[in-house]
Amino acid sequence: MKRFPLAAISILTLLAPARVASAEGDAAAGEVTFKVCRTCHQIGEAARNFVGPELNGVVGRKAGTVSGYNYSDANKNSGLTWDEATLTKYLKT
């Protein structure tokens, strides 16, 4: 999986529920950057688990908890709750 810095995008723009608009960030830049993620993840009303779990509402969600997705034990037991800081660190590694 290719990793990329999130400086050019707003996590809230990309990963919040699709019906909620973000008050900050560059949505157009985020959409371009998310094309890499879209290979494995879906967002939006029709999103479903794919190679990776769907990402609607990931900000504020406990890691490893999307129903119907088979997470690794490490992910399920990480104790992480996704916010901008944890996502930024996770995606940089």
More confident: 28 or 65? 65
- Dig out the tokens for 62 from the structure: 């406990």
Query: What distance in Å separates the CA atoms of residue 64 and residue 77, rounded to the nearest whole number?
Result: 8
Give the range of the structural domain holding residue 48, as residue numbers without chain letter: 11-92
Asked if the structure places residue 1 within a domain, the reply is no
Number of domains in the chain: 1
- What pTM did the predictor assign? 0.67
CATH code assigned at 35: 1.10.760.10
pLDDT at residue 31, as a whole number? 87
Interval 6-59: pLDDT, tens: 433 344 444 444 434 455 678 888 888 889 999 999 999 999 999 999 999 999
The half-sphere exposure of 53 on its side-chain side, counting CA atoms within 13 A, is 19
* For residue 71, pLDDT beyond 80: yes
